[in-house]
Amino acid sequence: MFTKPLLIVGAVSLVLIGVLGFLLKSSYEANGALEVKLAGANAVIQQREQDMKLSALEIAKLAGKVEQINATAAPVRERIIQLPATTACVQTPAMQEAITGVRALLAPK
């Protein structure tokens, strides 16, 4: 009398357990894939942060060099500005001073 309902309940239970097991396995695999993606994204973020720090250091170094060049070129620029302006080009004292100053700045040390 109870055997037929017990068999039905048992069969339904086995089917439900199978479906739940499959869903759990699928969820576990999806979770593993997400962990791999997350690890990759974290690696990219970490690399970008390192690159930003390195870029900031390089920019600071270059800014110091630019300031040094500006400080070195300022006296030459001031001498050029103080000379009288004429319409003649290369033979003018301003151009001669500019050429001499640029050559001095670019000369190997």
Q: What residues of the chain score a pLDDT lower than 50?
A: none
For 6-37, the pLDDT digits (tens) are 788 788 888 888 888 888 888 877 777 778 88
Q: How far is residue 12's CA from residue 10's CA, in Å, rounded to a whole number?
A: 6
Distance CA 80, CA 101 (A): 9
pLDDT at 58: 92
Torsion of CA 53, 59, 61, 64, to 10 degrees: -140
- To 10 degrees, the CA torsion angle through 75, 78, 80, 85? -170
Radius of gyration over alpha carbons of the chain, in Å?
A: 39
